[in-house]
Amino acid sequence: MKEIRVAKSAGFCFGVSRSVDMAEKLLDEHGRACSLGPIIHNEDVVGELCRRGLRVLASPAEAAAGEQVMIRAHGAAPSVYRELEERGAVITDATCPKVKMIHRIVREAAEEGRFVIVIGMRRHPEVEAICGWCGEHVVLENPAETRLWMDENPNYFDKMITIVVQTTQTSGNFTECCEILKKRCTNLKISDTICLATSTRQEEAKTLSSQCGAMVVIGGKHSANSLHLAEICASLCPAVQFIERSEELDLAALRDVDVVGITAGASTPAWIIKEVRNKMSDEIIEIKAEEPAVEKEQSFDEMLEETLKPIYNGDKVSGVVVAITATEVSIDLGTKYSGFIPTTEFTEDGTKIEDAVKVGDPIEAIVVRVNDVEGTAQLSKKRLDAVKVWDDVEQAVESGEVIEGVVTETNKGGVVVSYKGVRVFVPASQTDLPREADLSELVKKTVRFKLTEVNKARKRVVGSIRRVAQAERRAATEAIWNEIEVGKKYHGVVKSLTSYGAFVDIGGIDGMVHVSELSWARIHQPSEVVSVGDEIDVYVISFDREKRKISLGYKDPEANPWTVFTNRYSVGDVASVTIVKLMEFGAFATVVPGVDGLIHISQIANRRIEKPGDVLTVGDIVEAKITAIDEEKHKVSLSIRALSAPAPAAPVEEPAAEEEQSGEDVMVYDLSASGEAVGEVPADPDEA
């Protein structure tokens, strides 16, 4: 190997990271907790949580009254929630927000009497949970199953069907299944519910595997998204290793490969990815070490002089461990002095000496005391480590580099972050939290920050989280403005709601989803569709670089009522319509949800009537003929009269010119947002 490339998106996705954090919080607060099934598809992570007090339940029946039970990111069926509640368990719901959205879609489909098709792995816990929220449904795993199901169920071709997809499916499989269904089914509502993080990870895997001679995919053997990554890589790369941890890595198979890529599933923690990378990096170092090196040969006199060189207190020295006893570790310094380090330096934190250091290990240390009579030197590795850390701290201040640390505690006026063992004080104003926020919410979290002040003599270090956060937000904002285009999709978080819309953070910048773009149905408040904190997928409708404004859309274009109408009906078709409003000049009737047509008063009956209410009532369902469709203005004209038998001839009481009717010609009209006719409405369609 000459080069290792790691996919940027490898590792925990938001949903997995969120569920693990919630499990750790439950264990911190209660000491013990349960999860319904393994939280994620990673035995190491689940094993560690179990050691901390987590109990994995195979079914709700195993839960005891009062136990803390967590629903994992895959979600659960309504029946599971009910059973847990009946058993008296305390439920913590860690269902991924993206999965929650699928539950809402299929639940609403069931309420509307729609048949649901789920594209996904039939026995996967996420799919099983989704099915629990459905009414009548079927699970289809691939295009072959889809074709077979269509051939065997032609009676579903005209039914109202909603399609959703497992969040970790490949976009290729989903698209191919949908294309098959579109060819025969006439009333489809398709929701692309593949997680954005999954799509990103799969696209990176495609790119990386096409550039590398070999790929290493890290993930659980039962993880759907990891299995899909392995399939994608295998289709583009000749050599793929699918492993769960570094011990399974076959280095021999990679030695002759120039470039090796690494990607990992959503349930793979960062430390496993790091272990695999480090093991591969060591192989690169070993290969380089095998290459012949040209060195200058020392003379005997030079080597002798080197061994007789004196050392002094405070000197930095290096050597090799040659012996380990119960009290000290002996170091060969390559001089006339024999060095030793007390074993307590290696075992203070409870670590066993055999786990901390081994014979043959290289060691760097500081000389503490020299005994010229005995030819010995007491050394300290801890002091050198401390010196190195302070050197790193001073260098970080000078360079302004971004570093990481863990918040260990709150302090008067701020928080304390541990960086390589050094306590860094971050004032409250530099935490990037709102003024009224509770600083304790940062404790135990890893944060990115810059060091702003260091006083080595006083051991005082000050840092700022806010500087890094602001810089990252600016960079993210500029990146969005550089790449933004109409139609581009983003995964965002709802930040606030107003009466006219919702503001969504799409990665450092807020865009506005107008209330009219939240749903095809008529709604009064944005809160009817979304809530603050919701994660939603949006797309760009328009933007203004100068004013820094972005208009976003949320409603699914596939569900456009006008598209549904035009796909189903044409001029001349007969439809069952529902009367929704009566006016002096006619009646408005719903053809499909979201599309109303006008039945002019002259087209209500085959006789002259005084007002529409003489014949019709709001809520009536009647048969009407579609007599005109205005594609540009989205208007529909209807006629009941066209389906009625001709009325008996009546005595002529008025001039013929006034008695003439226009047959099936129907007026063209404008509708306001409230459904009322706008502009002058003629009394007879002949006047239109």
**What per-residue confidence (pLDDT) applies to 647?**
56
**What per-residue confidence (pLDDT) applies to 673?**
42
**What per-residue confidence (pLDDT) applies to 645?**
66
Per DSSP, 675 falls in state S
**What per-residue confidence (pLDDT) applies to 2?**
76
**What per-residue confidence (pLDDT) applies to 315?**
84
**What per-residue confidence (pLDDT) applies to 516?**
84
**What per-residue confidence (pLDDT) applies to 683?**
45
Q: What value does the CA radius of gyration of the chain take, rounded to a whole number of Å? A: 36
**What per-residue confidence (pLDDT) applies to 266?**
80
Q: How confident is the model at residue 494 (pLDDT cuts 50, 70, 90)?
A: very high
**What per-residue confidence (pLDDT) applies to 686?**
42
> Inter-axis angle of helices 14-30 and 97-111, to 10 degrees?
110
Average pLDDT of every residue of the chain: 83
**What per-residue confidence (pLDDT) applies to 675?**
42
pLDDT digits (tens, 9 = 90+) for 104-120: 999 999 999 999 999 99
Cα–Cα distance measured from residue 456 to residue 4, given in angstroms and rounded to the nearest whole number? 38
Tell whether domain 3-8+197-285 is in CATH 3.40.50.300. no
- Stretch 112-130: mean pLDDT: 93
Query: For residue 687, which amino acid is it?
Result: E
For residue 476, pLDDT over 60 is answered with yes
233: closest CA among 247, 250, 252, 212? 212
Q: How confident is the model at residue 664 (pLDDT cuts 50, 70, 90)?
A: very low
Cα–Cα distance measured from residue 632 to residue 629, given in angstroms and rounded to the nearest whole number? 9
141: closest CA among 112, 113, 180, 107? 180
Between 598 and 96, the higher pLDDT residue: 598
Cα–Cα distance measured from residue 244 to residue 219, given in angstroms and rounded to the nearest whole number? 5
CATH of segment(s) 484-555:
2.40.50.140
- Stretch 3-18: mean pLDDT: 78
| Residue 108 is among the residues annotated as catalytic for this protein | no
**What per-residue confidence (pLDDT) applies to 589?**
94
Query: For residue 613, which amino acid is it?
Result: G
The least confident of 48-52, 247-251, 390-394, 599-603 is: 390-394
**What per-residue confidence (pLDDT) applies to 224?**
79
Cβ atoms 678, 671 nearer than 8 A: yes
For residue 667, pLDDT over 50 is answered with no
For residue 434, pLDDT over 90 is answered with no
pLDDT digits (tens, 9 = 90+) for 85-101: 999 999 999 888 788 88
For residue 612, pLDDT over 80 is answered with yes
**Which residue's entry shows tokens 């690494």?**
262
Within 10 angstroms of residue 27's Cβ, the number of other Cβ atoms is: 16
Cα–Cα distance measured from residue 7 to residue 574, given in angstroms and rounded to the nearest whole number? 56
pLDDT digits (tens, 9 = 90+) for 318-348: 888 877 877 888 888 877 677 888 888 888 7
**What per-residue confidence (pLDDT) applies to 285?**
56
**What per-residue confidence (pLDDT) applies to 223?**
80
Q: In the numeric block, which tokens belong to residue 164?
A: 């959703």
Query: Distance of CA 284 to CAs 391, 415, 550, Å?
Result: 29, 41, 48
Cβ atoms 161, 189 nearer than 8 A: yes
For residue 289, pLDDT over 70 is answered with no
pLDDT digits (tens, 9 = 90+) for 293-303: 444 444 444 44
Tell whether domain 14-93 is in CATH 3.40.50.11270. yes
Cα–Cα distance measured from residue 393 to residue 403, given in angstroms and rounded to the nearest whole number? 10
- Stretch 142-169: mean pLDDT: 92
Paired sense of beta strands 422-427 and 446-455, if any:
unpaired
Cα–Cα distance measured from residue 98 to residue 16, given in angstroms and rounded to the nearest whole number? 12
Query: For residue 479, which amino acid is it?
Result: A
Between 687 and 649, the higher pLDDT residue: 649
**What per-residue confidence (pLDDT) applies to 582?**
93
**What per-residue confidence (pLDDT) applies to 617?**
94
Q: Which fold has domain 561-648+655-687?
A: OB fold (Dihydrolipoamide Acetyltransferase, E2P) (2.40.50)
Across 20-24, 58-62, 652-656, the highest mean pLDDT is recorded for 58-62
Which residue out of 67, 126, 204, 283 is catalytically annotated? 126
**What per-residue confidence (pLDDT) applies to 548?**
85
Q: How confident is the model at residue 391 (pLDDT cuts 50, 70, 90)?
A: confident
Instruction: Tell me the CB-side half-sphere exposure of residue 132, using CA atoms within 13 A.
Output: 18
pLDDT above 90 covers a percentage of the chain that reads: 37
Tell whether domain 400-468 is in CATH 3.40.50.300. no
Within 10 angstroms of residue 51's Cβ, the number of other Cβ atoms is: 8
Per DSSP, 336 falls in state S
Q: At residue 289, what are phi and psi to the nearest 5 degrees?
A: -65, -25
The least confident of 14-18, 138-142, 156-160, 204-208 is: 14-18
C-alpha dihedral (280, 284, 285, 286), degrees to nearest 10: 90
Which secondary structure element, helix H or strand E, spans residue 151, and what is its range? helix 143-152
- Stretch 593-608: mean pLDDT: 90
Cα–Cα distance measured from residue 606 to residue 587, given in angstroms and rounded to the nearest whole number? 15
Cα–Cα distance measured from residue 247 to residue 99, given in angstroms and rounded to the nearest whole number? 33
For residue 292, pLDDT over 50 is answered with no
For residue 597, pLDDT over 90 is answered with yes
pLDDT digits (tens, 9 = 90+) for 508-555: 788 999 988 888 777 788 988 899 999 998 999 999 888 889 999 887
Cα–Cα distance measured from residue 105 to residue 290, given in angstroms and rounded to the nearest whole number? 60
**What per-residue confidence (pLDDT) applies to 120?**
93
Domains 400-468 and 484-555 share a fold: yes
For residue 151, pLDDT over 70 is answered with yes
Q: Where are the domains of the chain?
A: 3-8+197-285, 14-93, 97-194, 400-468, 484-555, 561-648+655-687
**What per-residue confidence (pLDDT) applies to 320?**
85
Cα–Cα distance measured from residue 17 to residue 36, given in angstroms and rounded to the nearest whole number? 17
pLDDT digits (tens, 9 = 90+) for 445-459: 999 999 988 887 777
Q: How confident is the model at residue 181 (pLDDT cuts 50, 70, 90)?
A: very high
Between 348 and 59, the higher pLDDT residue: 59
CATH of segment(s) 97-194:
3.40.1010.20
